[in-house]
Structure 1
Amino acid sequence: MVPALSGDSPGGHGTDEVGRTARTRVRRLPDLAVHDRAALHAILDAGRVGHLAIVDGDQPYAVPVGYARDGERVLVHGSTGSRLFRHLAAGAPACLTVTQLDGLVLARSAFASSMNYRCAMVLGRAATVDDEAKLAALERITEHLLPGRWARLRPPSAKEIAATLVLAMPLAECSVKVSAGPPDDPDEDLDHPVWAGVVPVVESLGAPEPDPALRFDLPPPEW
């Protein structure tokens, strides 16, 4: 079990650098590693979907999940009937990865082409959020995905809450990697008549599409 929500308090890890353990040290292109904990928070706060990976027996699985950062932990939720979530609740080690794609880096060769991105990786074991804190945790996740939504929703029923498992992973062992900038072509490729540069990738919310079964004349959510 874990205690009630901690808000944005440091929770004991606020001054620690990330990516300094043997398991989280960036080995491939180590100059892209970022050790600032604020950068870790910013990447997690900017994302909405993470990929949660575990190994069940001899088979690895990676599942996309909605999440929210709560201080120095990440909250995820799923069905109590989910084999993955039951496995995590039992203490299986896990890896949560959140990636923000910022651009396609188009070099003069396929070999030198790459992407600009911000990536955070969280290692650890999840703990079950207790019943007293579960409702607040679900609100935290909902508000992260679309701020202001929770207050407009029908409150969850006791049956719905009982059918939902909320887990928390501490931000104790993490890694951050950031790639940015233009192509890094070798000098001998600069004379090739090929356009090179960066194509930005921007995530945005589109125009709301009302449910055909909507019975009331209501404005769509604002953000």
Structure 2
Amino acid sequence: MAPQSHLIPSRLAKRAHYDKETIYSILDEALFCTVSYVADNKPFSMPTAFVRYENKLYIHGSVGSHFIWALEKGAPVCISVTLIDALVVAKSAFSHSVNYRSVVLFSQGEKIEDANVKSAALEWLTNKIVPNSWSYLRPMKENEVKKTTVLAFEIDEASAKVRTGMPNDEEEDKPLPIWSGIIPIETTRRDPVPDDLSREIPLPKHLLPII
């Protein structure tokens, strides 16, 4: 996708990516995004779960949520996602950095009225948060679906920014006897812990730890 002027970073432009493959891969790995918008001349920023399907990003919320009300009217939004891969430890504090992958996109919300698309979006989102869980769970009731609003955002104005690799120390710092390198950071799913009602229920296959 061709970058708009507001998508081009003012610093380290070489880290920017505008291809959908890079953007989609980051969105598909991240579980949460932050949606920023303006309502009543005040700035708001809300973290929320999301899912990407084709060229749209979907979120959901209560029909009574002020957040959802503002967005379903088509308020312009900036949606951001960041994945942290490592702390970059240099020989000077000034050169410390972070290895990361991030996406920023600008869009407007579209309220999903089609019942089939709405149900599908809720299934996509549920299975993203807990893979393969939708068919295992008690089906959503009609009144639960009615209490939920699903919004879609086109992913047309979007850019990714990525930093990888080791520290970029100043030339005069490189000979210093100070340790430098990276400290990898990983987000992992640990073994499930049952609540009191589930202690005697076998763990379903989709929740079994991946060995």
Using structure 1 for the length normalisation, give the TM-score. Answer: 0.88
Q: 1-side partners of 2:105 and 2:180: how far apart?
A: 34
Q: 16, 25, 36: which one pairs with 2:8?
A: 25
Q: 1-side partners of 2:52 and 2:126: how far apart?
A: 11
Aligned residue in 2 for 1:160 = 144
Aligned residue in 1 for 2:164 = 180
Per-residue deviation, 1:23? 1.7
Matched, 1:146 2:96: no
Q: Which stretch of structure 1 is more off in the superposition, 59-68 or 101-110?
A: 59-68
Q: Which stretch of structure 1 is more off in the superposition, 98-107 or 26-35?
A: 26-35
Q: 2-side partners of 1:85 and 1:216: how far apart?
A: 39
Q: What secondary structure is seen at the aligned counterpart in 2 of 1:199? A: strand
Q: Which stretch of structure 1 is more off in the superposition, 120-129 or 211-220?
A: 211-220
Deviation digits for residues 101-146 of structure 1, max 9, x if unmatched? Answer: 0100001111110100000111110101114221111001111112
Matched, 1:123 2:106: yes
Is the 2:49–2:59 contact (alpha carbons within 8 Å) kept by the matching residues of 1?
Answer: yes
1:54-133 alignment to 2 at 5 Å? 54-132=37-115, 133=117
How many residues align structurally?
A: 206
Letter in 2 for 1:140: W
Q: 2-side partners of 1:26 and 1:125: how far apart?
A: 22
Q: Which stretch of structure 1 is more off in the superposition, 184-193 or 158-167?
A: 184-193
More helix by share: 2
Q: 195, 200, 204: which one pairs with 2:188?
A: 204
Q: 2-side partners of 1:189 and 1:216: how far apart?
A: 60
Q: Which stretch of structure 1 is more off in the superposition, 208-217 or 48-57?
A: 208-217
Q: 186, 189, 194: which one pairs with 2:178?
A: 194
Q: 2-side partners of 1:207 and 1:167: how far apart?
A: 32
> Sequence identity of aligned pairs in percent?
33
Using structure 2 for the length normalisation, give the TM-score. Answer: 0.93
Q: CA RMSD in A?
A: 1.3
Is the 1:26–1:175 contact (alpha carbons within 8 Å) kept by the matching residues of 2?
Answer: no
Q: 2-side partners of 1:35 and 1:173: how far apart?
A: 9
Q: 129, 138, 154: which one pairs with 1:170?
A: 154
Letter in 1 for 2:134: W
Q: 2-side partners of 1:100 and 1:113: how far apart?
A: 17
